[in-house]
Amino acid sequence: MNFVTLQFAFFFLAVLGGGWVLRARPLVYRRFLLLANLVFYASGGWYFLPLPLLVSLIVWGTGRRLGAGSSRSCVFAAGVALCLFTLGLLKYYEFILQILNDLLAWCGSGAFSPAALADLPFPVGISFYTFQGIAYLVELRRHPEESPRSYLEVLTYLSFFPTVLAGPILRPGEFFPQLEQVPGQGAHLAEGASLILGGLFKKVVLASFLSEQVVAGVFQTPELFASPAVLIAVYAYAVQIYCDFSGYTDLALGVGRLMGFDLPQNFRAPYLSLNIRDFWRRWHISLSMWLRDYLYIPLGGDRGGMGALCRNLLITMLLGGLWHGAHLRFLVWGLLHGLALMLLRLARKFRPAPPDEDGQMPGKLTPARFCSWFLTFHFICLAWIFFRAEDLSTAWIIFERLFFWGRPGEGVPLLALPAIAAGLGLQWAGPGLRDSFMRFQSRLPWPVQAALCAFLAGIILRLGPEGTLPFIYFQF
């Protein structure tokens, strides 16, 4: 069920109304929320529903065994392995089969393709709730004094409908205390509404326009477009993926606030970063922190010298790239970011950064800060080419058009330029605009607030294209 549909609007109003009626009965409310989660997830296809039930069963059973004083390391490893096996079977089986077939062809044997796996549908959100389940097990192993949760509590945590499809990736400590408090419904109307309206504008107006009018055509057949058009499309995709994903996050956070849940921020002006490390502190923050806490640090982090640090960074970013999809281009994208982080750490070893070169734009504008921002932003944009292109050969054609300037071809709509500028400008002005709107809203009676938000949402939806484009991160 897409957030940008009337179907979801009616569903959410029903959830809000039911939560308001049941707010005085915490146990009944939690069961009602679980039912809403399952209905929401099943709306994308009933055949998907057994998967969160299965992953929750694995996580709950492993947690119970950890709490029973069993051989903690073996039980923990088995639980994590089962979670990863489920994820790998359904998300990476084609990738694994392709590697096996290539190896068989190299050895002179015939290829194979098991019929049982040929038509498996891709379950949306599986990467997100699988990572949440692993986070639950890691935290339970690190804190054995914590009591394991019941199966229904674990299932509610993994299937929480505002975040189940595309995050943010919740930690147990961010969710369970709020679930136990049974938050008041609609207590944060101004904040929730401002987040939802901002998310709608990013997704429906900016991301959809750039996707349909610029990015799709250029990235599908880059050889038909002139070099300036390809460059604009590269910038357009950087803005599109930001507006699309951060727009979804704003919608999820806004829906959560209206329900009384305070969900973690997932974006913080990433394109204003002055270096690649700061970018990963501001882009998809919940995934970045998950990779840091549950992969990079257990690998050894920065312990063991510069060689170990570089190895751990590369492994972390390669697996982070693979998390996004079973394709070589995602590995290349992860490798580029891993190499950039590694080179930054090597450079900082010999020349620590002055205080004014760490952080993000805007700030005191100096030549050094501007050069740092310019290089970081363009590295990110160029790396996105591998993320978006259908395959590596298409990516190379795009690079050829960029670096062998002057190739003739078609152009792109001029409206792409103000759309790109608006997407970048929101990272600088967005928080201030949201705060101003919230202050204005808070002075109005709640019926007027609701009417004004409905009116603005209608205008935003009218500005968007016909139909509803899926969110980019639904495929992950």
Distances (CA, A) of 431 to 168, 437, 447: 19, 10, 25
Q: Indicate whether 309 pLDDT > 70.
A: yes
203-206 contacts, C-beta under 8 A, 24 or more apart: 203/4, 203/243, 203/244, 203/247, 203/248, 203/251, 203/471, 204/4, 204/460, 204/461, 204/463, 204/464, 205/460, 205/463, 205/464, 206/239, 206/240, 206/243, 206/247, 206/419, 206/422, 206/423
Q: Indicate whether 324 pLDDT > 70.
A: yes
| Tens of pLDDT, residues 70-102 | 567 888 999 999 999 888 888 877 777 777 776
Q: Percent of the chain beyond pLDDT 90?
A: 51
This prediction's pTM: 0.89
- Provide the pLDDT confidence category of residue 113 given band limits of 50, 70 and 90: low
Q: Percent of the chain beyond pLDDT 70?
A: 89
CB–CB of 3/9 below 8 Å?
Answer: no
Q: How far apart are CA 414 and CA 399, in angstroms?
A: 22
DSSP track, 266-298: --S-GGGBSSHHHHHTTSSHHHHHHHIIIIIHH
- Provide the pLDDT confidence category of residue 183 given band limits of 50, 70 and 90: low
The predicted structure's pLDDT at residue 112? 57
Burial of 399 (0-12, 13-18, 19+ CB in 10 A): middle
Task: Determine the 3-state secondary structure of 99 from DSSP.
Answer: helix
| H/E element, 419 | helix 416-442
Report the Cα–Cα distance between both ends of the chain, in Å, rounded: 16
Query: Residue 413 has what DSSP assignment?
Result: -
| Tens of pLDDT, residues 230-278 | 999 999 999 999 999 999 999 999 999 999 899 999 999 999 999 999 9
Catalytic annotation on 143? no
Q: How far apart are CA 412 and CA 214, in angstroms?
A: 6
What average pLDDT does this structure show over 326-342?
A: 92
Q: Indicate whether 116 pLDDT > 50.
A: no
Task: Determine the 3-state secondary structure of 217 from DSSP.
Answer: helix
Q: Which of 139-148, 230-239, 405-414 has the lowest mean pLDDT?
A: 405-414
CB–CB of 254/196 below 8 Å?
Answer: yes
The predicted structure's pLDDT at residue 409? 82
- Segments in 109-226 forming alpha helices (H): 115-118, 126-142, 151-158, 172-181, 189-200, 208-210, 216-220
What average pLDDT does this structure show over 344-373?
A: 71
* 409: phi then psi, degrees, rounded to nearest 5: 155, -165
The predicted structure's pLDDT at residue 157? 96
Q: Looking at the DSSP assignment, which residues form a beta bridge with residue 410?
A: 225
Cα of 451 vs its chain's centroid, Å = 31
CB–CB of 238/410 below 8 Å?
Answer: no
The predicted structure's pLDDT at residue 108? 67
- Provide the pLDDT confidence category of residue 475 given band limits of 50, 70 and 90: low
Q: Indicate whether 434 pLDDT > 50.
A: yes
Q: How far apart are CA 37 and CA 476, in angstroms?
A: 19
- Provide the pLDDT confidence category of residue 363 given band limits of 50, 70 and 90: low
- More confident: 340 or 104: 340
CB atoms within 10 A of CB 94: 15
Distances (CA, A) of 41 to 48, 53, 129, 158, 161: 8, 11, 12, 11, 7
Q: Catalytic: which of 188, 324, 327, 337?
A: 324
